[in-house]
Amino acid sequence: MTAADVLLGRALVEEATKKSGIVWVRGSGSARALWHVWHDGAAVLVGDGPGEQPLPTGLEPGGAAEVTVRSKDKGGRIVAWTATVAVLAPHSEEWESAVGALKGKRLNAPDAERLTERWAAGCRVLRLTPGASRTDLPKTSSAAVPLPTTATTRRPVPAALPRLLLKRRRERN
């Protein structure tokens, strides 16, 4: 791989991640879709606290994470990159800078005026610094087993319903 390829890969990671509203992050378990902000050359995200997104397992300081970026308009995979995980200490200079960027992008916060205090008290702010990237598609399926849920699907339409609807339409005419 040439130096130009490395620079183009970094530029692709940065632009794709900046423009995407969410990224898929995999620690040691299954991947999760997470909202983020691109700040100072890394993806910054907040979670694992009250009222915030749950982070995937295995995102520990110094560890690695697999980040997959999707296209904002088509939803397809653009690039995947390996990240080094750093947990920012609350109220440190780096944390304050990251939280300032995150706060501007946080939608529908129930307590916008106390947001940073809540994040400092009960959430983790992570910085995912890009490493190696790749744009080739995987050879196997990336489909994951859906997470357990209590949601159900609609029951089948009763067989007599179409006749009843047609009968009402005829009576109106």
Which residue type is seen at 52? E
DSSP structure class, residue 87: E
Mean pLDDT by 10 residues, the chain (173 residues): 84 92 90 94 93 92 93 85 95 96 88 91 95 79 79 80 76 69
Number of domains the chain is built from: 1
Residue 173, domain member (yes or no)? no
Residue 146, domain member (yes or no)? no
Residue 123, domain member (yes or no)? yes
Q: Whole-model pTM?
A: 0.78
Residue 147, domain member (yes or no)? no
75-97 burial string, b = 16+ CB within 10 Å, else e? eebbbbbebebbebebeeeebee
Residue 131, domain member (yes or no)? yes
Which domain CATH number covers 47? 2.30.110.10
Domain of residue 38: give its range: 3-137
Residue 155, domain member (yes or no)? no
Residue 144, domain member (yes or no)? no
Query: Any alpha helices (H) in the chain, and if so which ranges?
Result: 3-19, 93-105, 115-122, 161-172
Q: Provide the pLDDT for residue 90.
A: 96
Which tokens sit at 168? 């009402």
Residue 171, domain member (yes or no)? no
